[in-house]
Chains A and B, each alone.
Chain A
Amino acid sequence: MGFTAEALEKTVLQGEPDWLRERRQSALATYERLPAPSKTDEEWRRTDVSRFNPTEFSHLEHLDGLKLERPAGLPAGVILKPLRMAAREHPELVEPRLFSLVHADRDRFAALHAAFFTGGTFLYVPDGVEFDEPILGQHFSHQAGTSVLPHTLIVAGRGARFNYLDEYIAEDENETGHRSGSTEIFLGEGAQVGYVAVQKWGRKVWHFADQRAELQKDSTLRLFNVTLGGKFSKTRVEASLAGEGSNAELKAIYFASGDQFFDFHTLQDHRVGNTRSDLLFKGALQDVSRTVYAGLIRIEKHAARSDAYQANRNLVLSDKAKATSIPMLEIDNNEVRCTHGATVGPVDPEHLFYLRSRGIPLATAKRMLIQGFFGDVLDRIPFEHARKLVEAELESRIG
C-alpha cells in the first residue's frame, strides 16, 4: 500500500481531530518532498540508510496498542492515556506541544514518524503534583514486516516531580520491520523528571528515534537511554536549556553485538545562563558491530555561567568492532566551564593482567571489567525499577 495519502486516510486519520489530521498530512507532504539523506551530509556521512526502504514496511501495527501501567493512587489531575485519545480529549494540552520540539521537517524519517505515529503515551502532571511510583509505558511489536511508530509526550507542570519509563519490546528477536520511539518532554519551572527509555526492538529492524526535552527555570531532567535492539538504530537525544537554573543530565548505555549499527547524535543547547548539563554515553561493542557517536555542546551568546560536560566512552571487545566518536563544542560565551572527552579502546590489558594474576579466569575477568565499565553510569539511572531492568538486560548480554 505504501505510505500514501490514502493509506494515511484509511488508517490513522479515522476519528482524529482536524488539527491533527492537518498536521499529519503536512508531515506526509514533507516526507514526500525531502530527499533521502546524502552521504555528503555530515550527520549521515557514517550512517548508511541507502538500503532502507520504508515502503517495505508500510503496514502499521497496533494503532493504540500499548500497555500503560497506571500506578495505584495516582494523584488527581494527572492525565495518562494513549496519545491519540489525548489528542481528542485534551486538545488544549496536546495541540500546542505535539511535534513542537521534535520537528517533522528535520529529515525524511522524522517526517514519516510524524505523519504515521501510532501508539504512544500522553502524560500530563499538573503544577505541584509529585509521586514516587514510576509510570511504565510498554510498547510491543507483534509482527514482522510492519512499522511500529510510538510517540510519547510528557508535560510536567511547575514543581511537578515524577519518573517515567518507556520500554520498547519485540516479541520476536528476529523480526524485520521499521520502528521508532520518539519522545518530547516539557519541564515547567522547578519540575523534576526522571525519564528512561529502554529500546529492545528486534535485532533486524530499522529504528529511528528523537528524544528531546525543553527545560524551564530551575527544572531538572534526568534522562537515561538504553539502546540494545535493531540492526540499525539512530537516536537523537537533545536538551534545550531554556530557563535559568535548569539542569539536564543525559546518560546512555549501549551494547552492540553481531552486525548491529548504532548511531547517536546529542545536543546540549544552553540557551540561557546559569544552566548545567552533564552527558555521559557509554557503550560496549562486540563481534562486527559498529557505533557512531556525535555530540554537540552549544553555549549561546548570553548563556553565561553555564557548565557543560560531555563524554563518550567506548569499550571495544572485538577486533572487528568499530566505534566512531565525535564530540563537538560551540562556545559563544567565556563565563563558562565546558569539558568533553571521548575514548575508544579495548579492555585495558593491565587491568586484565591484574585480575588474572589474582587467579581469576580470563572470561570472568573480562566480564568483571565490562561490568565495572558500566557500573558508574548504571548508578545514575533515576529510579530503582528501571535500574533493575537495565541491569538484568546487561547481565544477560555480557553473559
Chain B
Amino acid sequence: MATVPKVEVGTDYKEKYGFFVPEEYVFKAKRGLNPEIVKEISWMKQEPEWMTNMRLRSLEIFRKKPMPKWGADLSVIDFENIFYYLKASDKQSKTWEELPPDIKATYDRLGVPEAERKFLAGVSAQYESEVVYHSLQEELTKKGVIFTDTDSALRDHPELFKEYFGTVIPPADNKFSALNTAVWSGGSFIYVPKGVRVDIPLQAYFRINAENMGQFERTLIICDEGSFVHYIEGCTAPIYSTDSLHSAVVEIIVKKNARCRYTTIQNWSTNVYNLVTKRAMAYADATMEWVDGNLGSQITMKYPSVYLMEPGAKGDVLSVAFAGKGQHQDAGGKMIHVAPNTTSTITSKSISKGGGRTSYRGHIKIYPGANNCKSFVKCDALLLDDESRSDTYPYNDVDAENVTLGHEATVSKVSDEQLFYLMSRGINRAEAETMIVNGFIEPFTKELPLEYAVELNRLIQLEMEGSVG
C-alpha cells in the first residue's frame, strides 16, 4: 500500500477550530447510551455548559419516560445497540459498491445525477452545488437571513439560539424528543428577520454538510414578524441509511403576520424507524403550513403540529403517505387552538399496497376561551389490494365556544369505473392504476416545487410497479 500523505492534524485543527484533538483520542463511535457518551458528544462539539446540562437532563427524562403504547410497534428498537454520534468522516466510509442494488436501480430510474446519488447514499458528503450554495448564501446574508447547520448556529449565534432552542418542543414533551435533545447533531437553523421574504425555497440539500441527514437532526426555524420562508427537507430519491433509528426534532416559530411553509419528502430506505416530532407555534395572523410526504421507512410515526397561539393564526397540514410491503406509515397532524379566531385544516391522503399499512392519527384540541375557531379534517385512503390496511384515528377535544369542527374520511379501492374508462381508451391496467393514484395525490403534488412534483410522480410509478423496496 502506498504511504498515506502526512496531514498536520494537530496544528490544522487548532488554527481552524481553536481546539486540538490528539490523534489517538479521535472520537470513535460507541454503541449504547449513557451520560458519558452524551458528555462526550457535547465535548466533541465544544458546546457551552448549558447545552451539555440540557443534554444530560434530557437523557434522564428519556430514561424515565415509558415507550408509547399506541401507534406502531416499537418494541424491537434496542437503544443500547445504536451509535448515537458519528463524526462526518466516519459516515463516508461506505462505498458505492456496498449499496443495495435496488437503491442504485432507483437512482437510475429517477435520473438522479451521479454526484447527487453519492450524496444521497451517504457515499459522499460533498454535493457539487457549491457555486449555487455560495451565491445563495451571499444573497441571504445581504438580507440578514441566517441559514446554517444547527451546530454552527449554536457556536455562531449563541444568544438567538438559546432564546428559542427547546421552547417549542421541550425535552419532556415525549420520549423521542428527550432522546433527540440528549444526542442531537446536525439539522438546519434558519432565522428570517422582520419583513424579509425569502423567494427561493431553502433546502438542506444546498448546505454542504454530511450531518444534515443525521439520525438525530435538530432543526430550528424562526420567522420574525411579517417574514416568509419556504424550507424543503429531504428529497424524493431514496436515502440509504444503515442506521435503524431516526428521530428528528423540528421547531418552528412563526411570529406576527409571518408565513412559513415546511415541505418534507421522506423516503428513507425500508429498514428505518422514523420517529419525528415536528411542531410550530404561530402567532397573530401568522400562517404555518406543513407539507409532509412519507414514502419510505419501515415505520414512520410523525404528526406535524401547529400551536395557534394568538388570534388570526392559521395552521395547515397536507400529508401524503404511501405504505408498501412491510411498511407502516402512522402519520397525521395536530392542531392546538390556544387562541380564539384561529383556523386550521388537515388534509391527509394515504395509499397502501402489497400488505402495507397506513394510519391517519390526528388531534384537534381547542382550549377553553379559544372561541370562534374553525377546524376541518379530511382523510382519504386508497387501498390497492386486499392484503393492505388503512386506519383512521382522529381525536377531537373542543373546550371552547362557538366552534365549528368537521371531519370527513373515505377509504376505497381504485374505482372500477375509472379503471374501465381509462382501459377502454387503450391504456393498460398498470398504467391506468398509476394515473389514478397520481390523480389521487394531486392536491399534494401541486403544492410541491416542479422538480419535486415530477420526481414524486415518477417515484409513485416505480412503487406501483413494485420495483422499489
Bound: A345/B401 CA distance, A: 9
Instruction: Name the A residues within 8 Å of B139 (CB-CB).
Output: none
Of B399, B404, B409, B413, the contact of A334 (CB 8 Å cutoff): B413
Any B CB within 8 A of the CB of A155: no
Bound: A322/B403 CA distance, A: 9
Any B CB within 8 A of the CB of A367: no
Bound: A342/B407 CA distance, A: 5
Residue contact A334 to B398, C-beta cutoff 8 Å:
no
Residue contact B409 to A335, C-beta cutoff 8 Å:
no
- Known contacts being A334-B386, A339-B410, is A344 close to B394, with CB within 8 Å? no
Q: Which residue of B lies closest to A349 (CB)?
A: B402
Question: Can you list 15 pairs linking A and B with CB atoms under 8 Å apart?
Answer: A324-B398, A325-B396, A328-B393, A329-B411, A330-B389, A331-B389, A331-B411, A334-B383, A334-B385, A336-B412, A341-B406, A342-B396, A342-B405, A343-B407, A344-B406
Shortest Cβ distance from A337 into chain B, in angstroms?
6
Residue contact B396 to A326, C-beta cutoff 8 Å:
yes
Any B CB within 8 A of the CB of A304: yes
Of A301, A322, A323, A336, the contact of B411 (CB 8 Å cutoff): A336
Residue contact A323 to B398, C-beta cutoff 8 Å:
yes
Shortest Cβ distance from A335 into chain B, in angstroms?
6
Residue contact A338 to B397, C-beta cutoff 8 Å:
no
Shortest Cβ distance from B157 into chain A, in angstroms?
41
Bound: A316/B352 CA distance, A: 37
Q: Which residue of A lies closest to B416 (CB)?
A: A335
Any A CB within 8 A of the CB of B156: no
Q: Which residue of B lies closest to A310 (CB)?
A: B409
Q: Which residue of A lies closest to B374 (CB)?
A: A345
Any A CB within 8 A of the CB of B391: yes
Residue contact A325 to B383, C-beta cutoff 8 Å:
no
Residue contact B404 to A344, C-beta cutoff 8 Å:
yes
Q: Could you say which of B381, B391, B395, B411 has the most chain A C-beta atoms within 10 Å of its C-beta? A: B411
Q: What number of A-B contacts does a CB cutoff of 8 Å give?
A: 103
Residue contact A341 to B391, C-beta cutoff 8 Å:
no
Of A325, A329, A331, the contact of B405 (CB 8 Å cutoff): A325
Instruction: Name the A residues within 8 Å of B402 (CB-CB).
Output: 316, 319, 346
Residue contact B411 to A304, C-beta cutoff 8 Å:
no
Bound: A301/B355 CA distance, A: 11
Bound: A326/B401 CA distance, A: 19
- Given contact pairs A326-B395, A328-B391, enumerate 14 new A-B contacts (beta carbons under 8 Å): A322-B399, A323-B398, A327-B409, A329-B409, A331-B411, A334-B386, A336-B411, A336-B413, A338-B409, A338-B411, A341-B408, A342-B394, A342-B408, A344-B398
Any A CB within 8 A of the CB of B92: no
Instruction: Name the B residues within 8 Å of A316 (CB-CB).
Output: 402-403
Instruction: Name the A residues within 8 Å of B390 (CB-CB).
Output: 329, 331
Any B CB within 8 A of the CB of A333: yes
Any B CB within 8 A of the CB of A70: no
Shortest Cβ distance from A301 into chain B, in angstroms?
8
Bound: A327/B402 CA distance, A: 21
- Known contacts being A342-B406, A342-B407, is A331 close to B401, with CB within 8 Å? no
Of B371, B383, B407, B408, the contact of A319 (CB 8 Å cutoff): B371
Interface positions of A from 69 to 108, Cβ below 8 Å from B: none
Bound: A346/B373 CA distance, A: 12
Any A CB within 8 A of the CB of B456: no
Any A CB within 8 A of the CB of B459: no
Q: Which residue of A lies closest to B410 (CB)?
A: A339
Shortest Cβ distance from B45 into chain A, in angstroms?
38
Any B CB within 8 A of the CB of A39: no
Residue contact B405 to A343, C-beta cutoff 8 Å:
yes
Any A CB within 8 A of the CB of B384: yes
Say which size band chain A's interface belongs to.
20 to 34
Residue contact B396 to A345, C-beta cutoff 8 Å:
no
- Known contacts being A333-B386, A334-B388, is A339 close to B409, with CB within 8 Å? yes
Residue contact B413 to A335, C-beta cutoff 8 Å:
yes
Residue contact B406 to A343, C-beta cutoff 8 Å:
yes
Shortest Cβ distance from B211 into chain A, in angstroms?
38
6 closest Cβ pairs, A-B complex? A334-B383, A319-B401, A345-B404, A329-B392, A334-B413, A338-B411
Q: Which residue of B lies closest to A318 (CB)?
A: B401
Any B CB within 8 A of the CB of A33: no
Q: Interface digits, A118-147 against B, CB 8 Å rule (1 contact, 0 not)?
A: 000000000000000000000000000000
Instruction: Name the B residues within 8 Å of A344 (CB-CB).
Output: 396, 398, 403-406
Q: Which residue of A lies closest to B404 (CB)?
A: A345
Bound: A332/B355 CA distance, A: 9
Bound: A316/B394 CA distance, A: 20
Instruction: Name the A residues within 8 Å of B407 (CB-CB).
Output: 325, 327, 340-343
Bound: A301/B386 CA distance, A: 8
Residue contact B405 to A334, C-beta cutoff 8 Å:
no
Bound: A369/B352 CA distance, A: 41
Q: Which residue of B lies closest to A320 (CB)?
A: B401
Shortest Cβ distance from B419 into chain A, in angstroms?
13
Shortest Cβ distance from A251 into chain B, in angstroms?
19
Residue contact B391 to A329, C-beta cutoff 8 Å:
yes
Shortest Cβ distance from A349 into chain B, in angstroms?
10
Residue contact B397 to A324, C-beta cutoff 8 Å:
yes
Instruction: Name the A residues within 8 Å of B413 (CB-CB).
Output: 334-336
Residue contact A46 to B397, C-beta cutoff 8 Å:
yes
- Known contacts being A324-B397, A326-B395, A326-B396, is A332 close to B404, with CB within 8 Å? no
Bound: A333/B357 CA distance, A: 11
Shortest Cβ distance from A41 into chain B, in angstroms?
10
Bound: A325/B394 CA distance, A: 9
Instruction: Name the A residues within 8 Å of B388 (CB-CB).
Output: 334
Q: Could you say which of B384, B397, B409 has the most chain A C-beta atoms within 10 Å of its C-beta? A: B409
Residue contact A340 to B408, C-beta cutoff 8 Å:
yes
Residue contact A345 to B403, C-beta cutoff 8 Å:
yes
Instruction: Name the A residues within 8 Å of B391 (CB-CB).
Output: 328-331
Residue contact B384 to A334, C-beta cutoff 8 Å:
yes
Bound: A340/B380 CA distance, A: 10
Instruction: Name the B residues within 8 Å of A325 (CB-CB).
Output: 396, 405, 407
Shortest Cβ distance from B377 into chain A, in angstroms?
9
Instruction: Name the A residues within 8 Å of B352 (CB-CB).
Output: 334
Residue contact B399 to A338, C-beta cutoff 8 Å:
no
Residue contact A338 to B405, C-beta cutoff 8 Å:
no
Bound: A167/B246 CA distance, A: 57
Instruction: Name the A residues within 8 Å of B397 (CB-CB).
Output: 46, 324
Residue contact B398 to A322, C-beta cutoff 8 Å:
yes
Residue contact A340 to B396, C-beta cutoff 8 Å:
no
Instruction: Name the B residues within 8 Å of A328 (CB-CB).
Output: 391-394
Shortest Cβ distance from B197 into chain A, in angstroms?
36
Instruction: Name the B residues within 8 Å of A42 (CB-CB).
Output: 70
- Known contacts being A319-B402, A334-B388, A343-B406, is A327 close to B371, with CB within 8 Å? no
